[in-house]
Amino acid sequence: MTDLVIRTLTEDDAALFDALPDPLGVRTAHRRTRHRPDWKRVALRDGTVVARAAWWGGPDDTEPVLVNWFDVADGEEEAGAELLLTAPWRVEELELTLPPRWRDEPALKAAGETCLRAAGAAGFEFLVERFQYRWTPDRGLPERPGRLLFAAEPDDAVFFDALRRIHSVTLDVHALRAVAEGGVDRAAQQELDVFHWFPSPREWWQVARTRAGDLVGIHIPARNPSGPCVGFIGVVPEQRGHGYAADLLAECTHFLAGRGAEFIAADTDQGNLPMAAHFTRAGYPVVRERVYFHATT
């Protein structure tokens, strides 16, 4: 096999990134994502691109925060691993974006598993698979049950306390990992940091209470760099079992739609069956699947 050439791209040769075939439809999935040319890398063999990766960060980030585009030609797992291992940036997470039900189609399954093996060979360990959803106005607005009262809350301490309670009993794998590493305070603070990272207004954050005034949970209507999204939905443990997550999701959807959202992105762990069911009933179809890895070194 001929020698591998790995290059970090520039504005002048950025078109090389598009030279690799795209059986998994990653380009379509990232049509709204802005990637810096100098945070993209390709691996070439005999002048042909056999692997590529794009590191991503927000508009104000000076370093990338994750790899969110990574695909590899058939039989080129070693090239893909080398591409990641020799990168000048070290990030904690890698995200593979895949079509819905990708394991049901042999060609998609083969392409996806090639990427999975390459990520593993580069020292990334599987973390979780998630569904990605996308609501659009043609789906109709979900019904508001009217059981809860929603209000903005300026005090971050209220959200921090709610997050501590929510993550004390959670199905979210990222939160469980944070709890295992640093307790519920760490998990809560990580979520709060993400809320502040969103470029949408802080005033959008809302708490939900019963009509008797008891806290039920929080929801975070947001915009990320790609557009409107459900930033967070969470119900405190003592209020679970009443389907209140559906109320929060409906309110979040109405909130963003009322501010002109032409689509709303969302996601949840595939193992979080209750939340996945709420998204389906609220008119959020699955548009992609994502596999997350975390760095082990």
Average pLDDT, the chain: 96
The SS3 of residue 250 is: helix
pLDDT tens track for 202-238: 999 999 999 999 999 999 999 999 999 999 999 999 9
Strands 286-295 vs 124-135: parallel, antiparallel or unpaired: antiparallel
CA gap 103, 100 in Å, rounded: 8
149-152: strand order across its sheet: 4-8, 40-45, 48-56, 66-72, 93-98, 286-295, 124-135, 264-269, 227-235, 215-224, 206-209, 149-152
The SS3 of residue 189 is: helix
The SS3 of residue 59 is: coil
Equal CATH topology for 4-122 and 138-285: yes
pLDDT tens track for 104-121: 999 999 999 999 999 999
Q: What phi and psi values does residue 76 have, to the nearest 5 degrees?
A: -115, 35
Own/partner long-range contacts of 148-151 (Cβ < 8 Å, ≥24 apart)? 148/208, 148/209, 148/210, 148/211, 148/216, 148/244, 148/247, 148/248, 148/251, 149/208, 149/209, 149/210, 149/211, 150/206, 150/207, 150/208, 150/219, 150/251, 151/206, 151/207, 151/209
pLDDT tens track for 61-70: 899 999 999 9
Rounded to two decimals, the pTM is 0.94
pLDDT tens track for 257-281: 999 999 999 999 999 999 999 999 9
Q: How many residues can be counted in the chain?
A: 297
pLDDT category at 32 given cuts 50, 70, 90 is: confident
Q: Does domain 138-285 have CATH number 3.40.630.30?
A: yes
pLDDT category at 297 given cuts 50, 70, 90 is: low
Domain ranges of the chain: 4-122, 138-285
User: What are the Cα distances from residue 107, in Å, to 17, 22, 74, 227, 289?
Assistant: 22, 12, 10, 31, 16
pLDDT category at 89 given cuts 50, 70, 90 is: very high
Question: Which CATH number is 4-122 given?
Answer: 3.40.630
CA gap 137, 261 in Å, rounded: 8
CA gap 245, 223 in Å, rounded: 20
Q: What phi and psi values does residue 219 have, to the nearest 5 degrees?
A: -140, 145
